[in-house]
C-alpha cells in the first residue's frame, strides 16, 4: 500500500532551521523533553517549578494537561514569556474516547467496521482538541494472544490483518485530512513492537520471537499506521530478543525509519529511557540517553534522561549534536504541521456545543450496542420478553466501571449504568448486588438469589472492575474475581428453569466454562463506555440486534493459553483415533468460542462459494424471524510455499444486513497470490462453519 505522505512545509523550514541555530543546548534538549502536569482536586495543574522551566525553554512538551483554561494559561507562558516563543506540544492518553467514552478498543475491534473505528477516533479528536490537546497516545496496535496480559484490552486482538485495518482507520480518524485542521490531533502508534508477546502475559516482561513471527504478526499494524501517515510512534517498554525497544537502533532507525519510511516523531514511553539502566544495557543516565538518541528517540517522556544525561553524553563523546538537531527538527516540524506556530491557542479556543456532545453520545450508544458479543443464546432467551426481571450482581449498578481502563477525561457521573439503562427502557425489575466485585463477603448471596423466586427471568451482571484490565493489570487467574462464581452458582441453581442471562464485563476473555455452560444466554459486554446501560438495554430488549464478534479466541481453560486461529499445522495434527497426535489429554484443543464468533437475533446461512476477479463471493440468507447483520470472514491457507504457513490467515471481512427471509450476496476482495492456496469464507474461524475452495 502506498504511504499517505505528510505535507512538506517548505515555507516554514527556514524558520525551523533558524530556531535550531539560535537555540542553546538546554533549549534544544527542552524540545526533546516531555513532562507530566500535576493533579489537584480541581484537575490538572502546573507547579511554579514547571512554569519556570517552560519560561526558560527547557520543557517543550507536556502530558496529562487538558482543559481549555489550563492549556491556554500554560501555552501563554511558552509562547509569550520564553525567549524563543516556541509553543508546547500537549499529549494525553486518548485511548477510547475523551469526554465521551467509547467501548474499549478490544470491544471496538469486534465490530469489524473501519467506518465506525474512524468515527469514534474522529469524535475523540474533536473533544480532545476542544480541551486544547495536540497529541493522542493512540492507537495501541499490539497484537496479543495472551489474555493474562491486561493491556490486551487496549488493542486489536490476536490478528495482524485486523490490527492493520484498525491502524489505518484510527489514524484517519484522529488526524483527519490534515494535522493543521483545528479538530485534528496527532496520532501515536504504540507500542512498537512486540509488547503484546510479553512472557507469560506478565506486564513489562521480556519478549522473544523469531524474525518471521515479528514480520508476519507484530509489524503489520505499524506498517499500516505509517502508510496512513501517522505523526508519531512510541516504542515499547520491553526488550525484544534482548534489546530494549527504547534503544533498538535496528528496529527504530532501520525498520521503522528506513524500511517503512517513517519521518515523524518517536516519543519514549513513560520513564522508559531511564529504565534502560534496569534493563542492564546502560550504567547511568548519560549512557541511557545516548542509546535512546542513537536509536532515534526524539522525545524523552518523564525520565528526565535527556536533560540530565545528554550534556554528559556529549562531553564523553557518546552522543552527537547532529543527532540532537535532527530530533529537535522533527519535533518542531510536528508542531508546525499542527499549525502551532501560526496559532498556538486555536485548539481549546472554541468550547464544545451541546449539539456536538449529543451527537457523540448517540454515536457512543450505537457503537456500544454493536460491540456487544452474544456468545450464547439457548432457546432464544434473548431478546427479553415481557415480565419481571431479577437483576443481580456487582456490575449492575456500577456506572464508573463501564468506562473500562484508560477512560481519558470521562467522568463516572456521565456514564449510564445497567440499572439506569433498564429503567429508561421501561423494564420491570428487582435488584440486589449479592456480592462485591472483589472480596470474600458472601453474606448477601441468599438475599440476591431469593429474587429468583419472584421473577420471570434473571440478569446476572458479573466480571472485572475497570482497573483489573489495562496497564500493570496482568492476571494469572482469569476466573470471576472474588466470590462472584459462588453467587452465579447459587442463582443458576435457584432459578429452576427460568432463563438466566449473563452480562460479562471485562477487558479480556475470562475463563468461565462453567458459567458459559449454565447460562441460557451469555453476552460479552466488555466495558461499553459512557452509554453502556442504554446500549445494553437496546440489545436485551431487541431494539438492536447484536452483531459484535470476538476479535480473539476465547479459551476454555487456562492451560490452552495462548490459543489462536492462526497456528501452524503439526506433522501430527489431532486425530481422535490416534493417541500420538497433537492434543490435550484433559481438555479439547478448540477454544470455547473461536475468533469471529458472535450470534445475532437472525439466523444466517451461507452457500455457493466461488471466486471471480472481484473476489470471493457467497450467497447469504437470513432464515430467522428478525432483521440482523452478519459479518463474514475471508481466510486463506497457502500450500507448498516452502515454509509452514498458518492453517488460516485472515485476508478480509465484510458485512451484510438482511430482513427476515431475505437473501443477498457478499463479495470480499481476495488479495493476489502466487502458488496454490485454499480460500475459506464463513462467520468465524470455526472450521466446521467455513466454506472452502481450493485454487
Q: For the residues of 245-285, what is the DSSP string, one character each?
A: GGG-HIIIIIIIIIIS---SEEB--TTTTTTHHHHTS-SSH
Nine-digit cell string for 564 = 489462536
CB 658 within 8 A of CB 621: yes
User: Reduced to 3 states, what is the DSSP secondary structure of residue 429?
Assistant: strand
Edge-to-edge strand order for the sheet containing 628-638? 649-658, 628-638, 677-682, 691-694
CB 637 within 8 A of CB 646: yes
The set of residues, in sequence order, having a beta carbon less than 8 Å from that of 296 and lying 6+ positions away, is 249, 252, 253, 256, 257, 266
3-state secondary structure 580-638: CCCCCCCCCCCCCECCCCCECCCCEEEEEEEEECCEEEEEEEECCCCCEEEEEEEEEEE
User: Reduced to 3 states, what is the DSSP secondary structure of residue 448?
Assistant: helix
Q: For the residues of 53-102, what is the DSSP string, one character each?
A: HHHTT---EEES--SHHHHHHHHHIIIIISSS-PPPEEEE--SSBSSSBP
38-64 pLDDT per residue, tens: 754 445 666 666 899 999 999 999 999
Which run of H or E residues covers position 553?
Answer: none
Could you give the CA distance from residue 667 to residue 679 in angstroms, rounded to a whole number?
13
Cβ burial 647-663 (10 Å sphere, 16+ → b, else e)? bbbbbbbbebebeeeee
Grid-cell match 525553554, residue found: 57
Could you give the CA distance from residue 659 to residue 655 in angstroms, rounded to a whole number?
14
Nine-digit cell string for 367 = 457503537
Nine-digit cell string for 441 = 463477603
| CA-based nearest residue to 333, from 101, 563, 15 | 15
**What is the value of pTM for the model shown?**
0.96
Give the confidence band of 2 by pLDDT, cuts at 50, 70, 90.
very low
Is a pLDDT exceeding 70 seen at residue 605? Answer: yes
Nine-digit cell string for 686 = 470455526
CB 155 within 8 A of CB 107: no
Is a pLDDT exceeding 60 seen at residue 11? Answer: no
Could you give the CA distance from residue 300 to residue 531 in angstroms, rounded to a whole number?
36
Give the confidence band of 675 by pLDDT, cuts at 50, 70, 90.
confident
Give the mean pLDDT of the chain: 95
Residue 269 known to be catalytic: yes
366-402 pLDDT per residue, tens: 999 999 999 999 999 999 998 999 999 999 999 999 9
The set of residues, in sequence order, having a beta carbon less than 8 Å from that of 179 and lying 6+ positions away, is 6, 186, 231, 334, 337, 338, 339
Is a pLDDT exceeding 70 seen at residue 608? Answer: yes
Give the confidence band of 3 by pLDDT, cuts at 50, 70, 90.
very low
Q: Which residue among 142, 159, 239, 269 is the active-site one?
A: 269
The pLDDT of residue 45: 61
Residue 6: Cβ within 10 Å count? 17
Give the confidence band of 13 by pLDDT, cuts at 50, 70, 90.
low
The pLDDT of residue 50: 85
CB 597 within 8 A of CB 672: no
Give the domains, in start order, of the chain with CATH numbers: 11-88+325-349 (no CATH), 238-319 (no CATH), 361-560 (3.40.50.1700), 604-694 (2.60.40.10)
| CA-based nearest residue to 556, from 479, 463, 650 | 479
Residues 30, 251, 88, CA angle at the centre, nearest 5°? 20
The pLDDT of residue 368: 98
Edge-to-edge strand order for the sheet containing 604-612? 604-612, 615-622, 663-668
The pLDDT of residue 48: 67
Is a pLDDT exceeding 60 seen at residue 493? Answer: yes
508-522 pLDDT per residue, tens: 999 999 999 999 999
Distances (CA, A) of 52 to 39, 48, 56, 79, 316: 18, 6, 6, 13, 29
- Residue 283, judged by CB atoms within 10 A of its CB (0-12, 13-18, 19+), counts as exposed
Side-chain half-sphere CA neighbours of 457 within 13 A? 21
Give the confidence band of 674 by pLDDT, cuts at 50, 70, 90.
confident
Amino acid at each position: 500500500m502506498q504511504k499517505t505522505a505528510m505535507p512538506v512545509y517548505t515555507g516554514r523550514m527556514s524558520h525551523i532551521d533558524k530556531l535550531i541555530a539560535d537555540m542553546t543546548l538546554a533549549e534544544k534538549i527542552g524540545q526533546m523533553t516531555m513532562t507530566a502536569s500535576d493533579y489537584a482536586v480541581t484537575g490538572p495543574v502546573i507547579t511554579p517549578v514547571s512554569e519556570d522551566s517552560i519560561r526558560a525553554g527547557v520543557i517543550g512538551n507536556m502530558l496529562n494537561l487538558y482543559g481549555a483554561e489550563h492549556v491556554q494559561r500554560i501555552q501563554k507562558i511558552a509562547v509569550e514569556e520564553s525567549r524563543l516563543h516556541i509553543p508546547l506540544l500537549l499529549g494525553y492518553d486518548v485511548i477510547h474516547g475523551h469526554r465521551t467514552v467509547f467501548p474499549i478498543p478490544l470491544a471496538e475491534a469486534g465490530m469489524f467496521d473501519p467506518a465506525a473505528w474512524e468515527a469514534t477516533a474522529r469524535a475523540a479528536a474533536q473533544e480532545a482538541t476542544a480541551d486544547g490537546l495536540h497529541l493522542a497516545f493512540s492507537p495501541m496496535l499490539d497484537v496479543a494472544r495472551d489474555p493474562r496480559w491486561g493491556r490486551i484490552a487496549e488493542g486489536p486482538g490476536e490478528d495482524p490483518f485486523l490490527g492493520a485495518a484498525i491502524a489505518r482507520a484510527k489514524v484517519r480518524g484522529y488526524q483527519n485530512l490534515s494535522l493543521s485542521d483545528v479538530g485534528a490531533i496527532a496520532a501515536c502508534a504504540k507500542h512498537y513492537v512486540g509488547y503484546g508477546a510479553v512472557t507469560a502475559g506478565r506486564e513489562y516482561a521480556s519478549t522473544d520471537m523469531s524474525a518471521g513471527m515479528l514480520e508476519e504478526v507484530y509489524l503489520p499494524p505499524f506498517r499500516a499506521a505509517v502508510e496512513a501517515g501517522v505523526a508519531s510512534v512510541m516504542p515499547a517498554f520491553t526488550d525484544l530478543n534482548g534489546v530494549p525497544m527504547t534503544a533498538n537502533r535496528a528496529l527504530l532507525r532501520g525498520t521503522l525509519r528506513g524500511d517503512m519510511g517513517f519521518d515523524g516523531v518517536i516519543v519514549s514511553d513513560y520513564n522508559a529511557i531511564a529504565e534502560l539502566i534496569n534493563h542492564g544495557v546502560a550504567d547511568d543516565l548519560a549512557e541511557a540517553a545516548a542509546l535512546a538518541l542513537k536509536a532515534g528517540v526524539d522525545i524523552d517522556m518523564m525520565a528526565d534522561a535527556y536533560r540530565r544525561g545528554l550534556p554528559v553524553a556529549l562531553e564523553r563523546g557518546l552522543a552527537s549534536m547532529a543527532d540532537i538537531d535532527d530530533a529537535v527538527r522533527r519535533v518542531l516540524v510536528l508542531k508546525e504541521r499542527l499549525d502551532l506556530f501560526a496559532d498556538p491557542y486555536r485548539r481549546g479556543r472554541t468550547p464544545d456545543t451541546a449539539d456536538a456532545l449529543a451527537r457523540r453520545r448517540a454515536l457512543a450508544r450505537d457503537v456500544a450496542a454493536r460491540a456487544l458479543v452474544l456468545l450464547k443464546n439457548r432457546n432464544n432467551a434473548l431478546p427479553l420478553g415481557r415480565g419481571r426481571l431479577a437483576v443481580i450482581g456487582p456490575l449492575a449498578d456500577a456506572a464508573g466501571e463501564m468506562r473500562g481502563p484508560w477512560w481519558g477525561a470521562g467522568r463516572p457521573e456521565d456514564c449510564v449504568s445497567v440499572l439506569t439503562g433498564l429503567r429508561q427502557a421501561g423494564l420491570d425489575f428487582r435488584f440486589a448486588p449479592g456480592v462485591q466485585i472483589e472480596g470474600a463477603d458472601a453474606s448477601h448471596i441468599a438475599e440476591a438469589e431469593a429474587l429468583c423466586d419472584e421473577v420471570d427471568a434473571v440478569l446476572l451482571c458479573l466480571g472485572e472492575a475497570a482497573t483489573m484490565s489495562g496497564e500493570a493489570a496482568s492476571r494469572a487467574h482469569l476466573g470471576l474475581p472474588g466470590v462472584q462464581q459462588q453467587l452465579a452458582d447459587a442463582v443458576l441453581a435457584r432459578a429452576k428453569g427460568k432463563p438466566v442471562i449473563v452480562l460479562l464485563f471485562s477487558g479480556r476473555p475470562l475463563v468461565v466454562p462453567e458459567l458459559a455452560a449454565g447460562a441460557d444466554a451469555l453476552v460479552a459486554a466488555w466495558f461499553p463506555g459512557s452509554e453502556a446501560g442504554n446500549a445494553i438495554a437496546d440489545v436485551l430488549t431487541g431494539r438492536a440486534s447484536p452483531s459484535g464478534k470476538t476479535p480473539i479466541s476465547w479459551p476454555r481453560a487456562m492451560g490452552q493459553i495462548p490459543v489462536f486461529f492462526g497456528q501452524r499445522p503439526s506433522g501430527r495434527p489431532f486425530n481422535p483415533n490416534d493417541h500420538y497426535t497433537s492434543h490435550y489429554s484433559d481438555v479439547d484443543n478448540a477454544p470455547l468460542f473461536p475468533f469471529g464468533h458472535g450470534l445475532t437475533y437472525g439466523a444466517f446461512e451461507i452457500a455457493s462459494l466461488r471466486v471471480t476477479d472481484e473476489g470471493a463471493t457467497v450467497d447469504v440468507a437470513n432464515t430467522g424471524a428478525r432483521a440482523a447483520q452478519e459479518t463474514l470472514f475471508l481466510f486463506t491457507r497457502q500450500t507448498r510455499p516452502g515454509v509452514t504457513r498458518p492453517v488460516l490467515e485472515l485476508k478480509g471481512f465484510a458485512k451484510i444486513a438482511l430482513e427476515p427471509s431475505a437473501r443477498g450476496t457478499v463479495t470480499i476482495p481476495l488479495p493476489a497470490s502466487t502458488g496454490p492456496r485454499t480460500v475459506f469464507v464463513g462467520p468465524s474461524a470455526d472450521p466446521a462453519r467455513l466454506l472452502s475452495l481450493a485454487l
